[in-house]
Amino acid sequence: MDLIFFKVAVVFYLSSSMSYLIFLVFPSIKSTSVALGCAVVGFVLQGLSIIHRAVFFGFFPLGTPFDALSFFAWFVIGLFLLLQCRIPSPIFGAIVTPMASVLMLFGSTFSYQVREPLVPILRSWWLPIHVTLALAGNAVFALMAIGGLMYILQERLIKGKRIGRFYRLLPSLETLDKINRHGLPVGFFLLTVGIISGALWAGSVWGFYWSWDPKETWSLITWFAYAAMVHQRVVLGWRGKRAAVLALIGFGLVMFTFLGVSALLGGHHAFKGPGVGAFAS
Amino acid sequence: MTAGIIVIGLNHSTAPVQVREMITFPGNEQGNITRLLLSNEGVGEAIIFSTCNRSEVLFVADDVSNTLERVIADIARIHGIPPESFRDYLYVKTAKEAVNHVFRVASSLDSMVLGEPQILGQVKEGYRRAAAVNATGPILNRLMHRAFFTSKRVRNETGVGLSAVSVAYVAVELAKKILGDLTDKSVLLVGAGEMAELAARHLAGQVDKPVVVVNRTFENACALAGELQGCAMAMESIEDCLVEADVAITSTGSCETLIKSSHLARVMRRRRFRPIFLIDIALPRDVEPQANDIDGVYLYNIDDLQAVVVENIGERRQEALRAESVVAEEVGKFMDWTKSLDSTPTIVAIREKLEKIRLTELARSNGKLAGLSPAQREAIEMVTKSIINKIAHDPIAFLKKARSKPKRNLYLDVVQRLFSLDGSESDPESREEKSVEK
């Protein structure tokens, strides 16, 4: 029962993905408005699910990988819906909604049971600040990567002189580059303050700001990657395809830091094992 | 008997341009010529469509063959030419075929450039003129409304008018896909030939900045720049011009390649990799084809653009097949309506409608009437029946009398609307009327 909103939201996201795909495969079936409608309903339901989890949790529901992934997917869909007014491309939706679905399905393979009692260090106001900032930054990077993917697709179509339906459905190169141009400073800012807030949180509970925990190390690597991207873009004027490729690489790093590090390398960011609980005890 | 709908006319596929030029219905701006056709005995309603690719008269007449000859004679008289000079180029369509033809024309399926959007406006204009002089009646009004509705459906449900089918449009569309909004972009013209001018005019209409013209002979550059309200530059400054431009059209008569990839690589660095769209319409080519491989350079030559046009035309043909089925569906609906536009079915429909009302109302009061004896029930049946018969009597008598009157179609139409006998149509009707006024 406690996951009912979440489950229904996943169903709506999957229906949205299906509707987008149907439209892309069968042009005569105009299912894009259905797809967008499903995405909006899914977004609202997932919002309810997060509120529900918060009530159930008694605090911000960010303590398990299940919740973190759900929150991340929710951000991505939210940003997509915001951008939808500006960039109404069904191909955009056809990438975002399956991605959100996969993130949520992947999240649901983890246990959503909250460890009782909740470790005291997670009962800090730093938790929502740090995690929200970090996940919002990740969501912006995700959309930049999707924009980059669409840029590369569209660029190949135009350069290859394949002027067909997909060329028409994809936004203009300028619009797609704009996602990168506007997303990069926003995402970089969020990542930076996300890392700083984490350091401050660590400082407030453990007395030291930085401990070279694997997640911290990889965050720093990611931070440097995006710092380099900002540099290339601002100083050298890199744009278009190069910026798009960098956005994809950057997002690969983000996903590794977000998911891979906890799973493979452990550390105090990990959700189980010698993670939070062990560290705090 | 219902009156016949007839179309006679000629268009780009049946008549050569010399003949089309002869038949243009001059002086029909106020609908005077349309009015003139109506003075013909037997012609009930008429509309004239006249565009550069077609001239058509659409009319309603009882006796098709006789009226047809008279209308053709009229057309000849109006234009002061013998009927024989254009008779062979005419097509004549009646009844269902005529309806189909009008719907196809309004949906741009009969146009020279399939799916071009202007024809609908031209058809609406013809209709407006005819309606202004009261040359249209219930049949053509209905027919035209349905034609506009069909055209709207075709536009919304198929991609007939979607893809660009001229080189200039394809170029503008591409420029928008590469550069986004074009208003703040700048256009560079290399070479001052006629071809370049033609291509530039279309793009120049989309941008606010003045077009820059570069040419080997500076005087020619100045002349063309003057025409395009742009500015002229010397050939030596071409690299600087390329750095500034967003779209460049090259069409010099130069025998050797004017712009090499190495030039463009340098230009791109100076542009800080701002994308540039190059359109090479010169033969031999002005831009080295390998330039297309440089990041941010999008090079299309005239053959590339032409190939896109050909592909898009093919796509429109595909979509036209789907459009034809939409048209066929709407023609079917219209023909059903014309069949109902007769006194007998209308009378039957009035009776049925009243009887239905009577039965529904009786059923509704069933509870209150439950205490009545069978005899009393019988009496109520009788009373209600005689009420509806009395109500129906006068309209039905009127319709029967109207059978022989020239305005019977109008009466039938009004009666059908009064009793909303074509009930489902009342809603789209209002929408259609709005669509005509636009």
- Mean pLDDT throughout B376-381? 86
Supply the DSSP symbol for B424.
G
A99/A82 Cα distance (integer angstroms): 17
pLDDT of residue A177: 92
- Which of A167, A220, A214 has its CA nearest to residue A192? A220
Residue B240 has a CB neighbour count (10 Å cut-off) of: 14
- Most distant CA pair in chain A: distance in Å? 63
Q: Is B141 on the interface with A (CB under 8 A)?
A: no
Q: What is the model's pTM?
A: 0.74
B54/B18 Cα distance (integer angstroms): 12
Strand duo B54-61 + B297-301: pairing: unpaired
pLDDT of residue A266: 65
A14/A18 Cα distance (integer angstroms): 6
Query: Could you tell me if A14 and A62 are in contact, meaning their C-beta atoms sit under 8 angstroms apart?
Result: no
ω before B289 within 30° of 0 (cis)? no
pLDDT of residue B434: 46
* pLDDT band of A118, cuts 50, 70, 90: low
The dihedral over CA atoms of B395, B400, B406, B408, expressed in degrees to the nearest 10, equals 50
Least Cα separation, residue B303 to chain A (angstroms): 11
- Which residue of chain A comes nearest to B319, CA vs CA? A28
Could you tell me what percent of chain A has a pLDDT over 70? 88
Pairwise CB contact (< 8 Å): B298 & A174 = no
Backbone φ, ψ for residue B55 (5° rounding)? -135, 125
- Which residue of chain B comes nearest to A235, CA vs CA? B272
pLDDT at B94 over 50: yes
Question: Tokens in use for A236?
Answer: 């050298």
Could you tell me what percent of chain B has a pLDDT over 90? 6
Assess if CATH 3.40.50.300 describes domain B167-308. no
Give the CA radius of gyration of chain B. Answer: 31
A91/A109 Cα distance (integer angstroms): 28
Could you state, in order of their start, the residue ranges of all structural domains in chain A?
Answer: 1-114, 133-281
**Alpha carbon A100 to its chain's center:** 8
* pLDDT band of A141, cuts 50, 70, 90: very high
pLDDT of residue B373: 85
Q: Is B162 on the interface with A (CB under 8 A)?
A: yes
- Which of A182, A178, A185 has its CA nearest to residue A230? A185
pLDDT digits (tens, 9 = 90+) for A93-106: 899 999 999 988 88
pLDDT digits (tens, 9 = 90+) for B382-422: 898 889 888 888 888 888 777 766 677 777 778 888 888 76
Inter-chain contacts counted by CB atoms under 8 A, chains A and B: 57
Query: Could you tell me if A32 and A92 are in contact, meaning their C-beta atoms sit under 8 angstroms apart?
Result: no
- Which of B106, B104, B97 has its CA nearest to residue B327? B104
Start-end of H helices in B107-208 = 118-132, 138-157, 167-179, 194-204
pLDDT of residue A37: 92
Supply the DSSP symbol for A122.
G
Pairwise CB contact (< 8 Å): A239 & B273 = yes
Question: Tokens in use for A248?
Answer: 């994809």
pLDDT of residue B1: 40
Name chain B contacts of A237, Cβ cutoff 8 Å: 272-273
Least Cα separation, residue B185 to chain A (angstroms): 12
Question: Tokens in use for B119?
Answer: 């024809």
How many CA atoms are closer than 13 Å to the CA of A80, on its beta-carbon side? 33
Pairwise CB contact (< 8 Å): A163 & B312 = yes
**Tokens 């660095």, located at residue:** B269
pLDDT at A153 over 90: yes
Pairwise CB contact (< 8 Å): A158 & B275 = no
pLDDT of residue A155: 93
Lowest-pLDDT choice from A92-101, A106-115, B94-103, B171-180: A106-115
Could you state, in order of their start, the residue ranges of all structural domains in chain B?
Answer: 4-161, 167-308, 344-437
> Which tops the pLDDT comparison, A168 or A192?
A192
Contacts of B111 (CB under 8 A, 6+ apart): B53, B105, B119
Exposed/middle/buried for B195, CB within 10 Å: 0-12, 13-18, 19+?
Answer: middle
Catalytic annotation, pick one of B52, B231, B241, B255: B52
Query: Could you tell me if A118 and A63 are in contact, meaning their C-beta atoms sit under 8 angstroms apart?
Result: yes
- Looking at this protein, which amino acid is placed at residue A206? W
Start-end of H helices in A207-268 = 214-234, 240-255, 261-264
Mean pLDDT, chain B, integer: 82
Q: Determine the angle formed by the axes of helices A4-25 and A65-84, rounding to 10 degrees.
A: 40
User: Which residues, numbered 207 to 266 in chain A, qualify as contacts with chain B under a Cβ-Cβ cut-off of 8 Å?
Assistant: 236-242
> Which tops the pLDDT comparison, A168 or A121?
A168
pLDDT at A116 over 80: no
pLDDT digits (tens, 9 = 90+) for A34-87: 899 999 999 999 998 888 888 877 777 776 778 888 889 999 999 999 988 888
Cα angle vertex B322, ends B321, B327, to 5°?
Answer: 95
B317/A251 Cα distance (integer angstroms): 43
Cα angle vertex A50, ends A111, A276, to 5°?
Answer: 45
Q: Determine the angle formed by the axes of helices A65-84 and A126-159, rounding to 10 degrees.
A: 50
Least Cα separation, residue A190 to chain B (angstroms): 27
Name chain A contacts of B246, Cβ cutoff 8 Å: none
* pLDDT band of B437, cuts 50, 70, 90: very low
Residue-wise DSSP of B183-201: TT--EEEES--HHHHHHHH
Left if phi > 0, otherwise alpha if psi is -120 to 50, otherwise beta: which for A267?
left
Start-end of H helices in A121-213 = 126-159, 165-169, 173-206
**Count, residues in chain B:** 438
Query: Could you tell me if A114 and A63 are in contact, meaning their C-beta atoms sit under 8 angstroms apart?
Result: yes
User: Which residues, numbered 295 to 314 in chain B, qualify as contacts with chain A under a Cβ-Cβ cut-off of 8 Å?
Assistant: 295-296, 298, 300, 304, 307-308, 311-312
Start-end of H helices in B271-342 = 302-340
B13/B20 Cα distance (integer angstroms): 10
Contacts of B423 (CB under 8 A, 6+ apart): none
pLDDT of residue B428: 45
Residue A115 has a CB neighbour count (10 Å cut-off) of: 15
Lowest-pLDDT choice from A186-190, B94-98, B336-340: B336-340
pLDDT of residue A277: 32
pLDDT at B3 over 90: no
Could you tell me what percent of chain B has a pLDDT over 70? 94
Lowest-pLDDT choice from A128-142, B131-145, B379-393: B131-145
- Which of B310, B241, B255, B243 has its CA nearest to residue B286? B255
Query: Could you tell me if B46 and B127 are in contact, meaning their C-beta atoms sit under 8 angstroms apart?
Result: no
Least Cα separation, residue B324 to chain A (angstroms): 15
A6/B294 Cα distance (integer angstroms): 47
- Which of B160, B139, B110, B154 has its CA nearest to residue B329? B154
pLDDT of residue A111: 67
pLDDT of residue A270: 60
What dotted CATH number matches B4-161?
A: 3.30.460.30
Name chain A contacts of B162, Cβ cutoff 8 Å: 168
Residue A225 has a CB neighbour count (10 Å cut-off) of: 17
- Mean pLDDT throughout B253-269? 87
